[in-house]
Amino acid sequence: MALILKGAVKLYHYLNYDIAEVTTKDWPLMRTPWPGLLLIAIYLMTVCRWLPDYMKDRPAYDLRKTIVLYNIFQIICCVYVLYQSLKLGWLTRYRIVCEPVGDGPESLDYAWKVCYAYFIIKVIDLLDTVFFVLRKKQNQVSFLHVYHHFGMVAVAWGMVKWVPGGHMTLLVPINSFVHIIMYTYYLLTVWDESYKRSLWWKKYVTQVQILQFTLLLLHFSALVVAKDCSIPRQPAYILIPQNLFMFLLFSEFYYKTYIKKKNTKSI
């Protein structure tokens, strides 16, 4: 047991200090994983237990105006991060495969304006679930929804902690672009309920999400098979199964929602 504990402490020190990115290690919530883990734990308890219990005998809140403002705010934030990621990296100096984290003023700007800003956006994204519960739409608080939200907080935190730039961060512009589409759809449907029936592109939002995970799966896999690549491959070993899992979950959702139901209705 003592040997196991000693090994665990050594691994923790290695991950948290030895290989952590020096430029970001003292940023808020970045010094250790414990504040982030506490945040995720509070989120899970809030949306899965505390808030549903609170809402059990209460009427649903009308949050339409709040959610309209929230969606506009999210769209603006995603546009900003998408713009910065292209301006500071992916349309200027980044190559598509084996791009290292780098150093210097531009790399610091990228870490702060792209990676850390993206992490904060993922934390704010957790409000999506809170709004569902307060509106008594508990059916939308699915395993896919909850896992995706807290999983993206963890992924974004790890990116800032270990690789705030380079190859792995293609996730940021792709995911931000997808969220611009997604939050625009949400904004329209909350603004006018009739849009839920008239917007023909509803199912294509899910298709774009599936395409996102496919592209990222290929991009992370390229790091594993690339020769003469000087950057660490370990992040890819984590993100490949994560993206594969999300691809499978979203594909299952798409099948049940848009294919299975359609076939059932046609019988």
Active-site positions read 148
Closest to 47 measured CA to CA, from 156, 140, 153: 140
For residues 137 and 139, what is the distance between their CA atoms, to the nearest angstrom? Answer: 5
Q: Which of 46, 67, 82, 76 is nearest to 177 (CA)?
A: 82
Taking alpha carbons only, the member of 172, 171, 164 closest to residue 231 is 164
The DSSP-derived string for 105-151 is HHHHHHIIIIIIHHHHHHHHHTHHHHHHHHTT-GGG--HHHHHHHHH
| Nearest residue to 30 via CA among 120, 95, 98, 91 | 120
Between helix 64-85 and helix 117-125 the angle, nearest 10°, is 160
Cα dist. 54→22, 33, 38, 60, 264 in Å? 43, 29, 21, 11, 37
d(CA 109, CA 88): 8
| 107, 143 Cβ separation under 8 angstroms | no
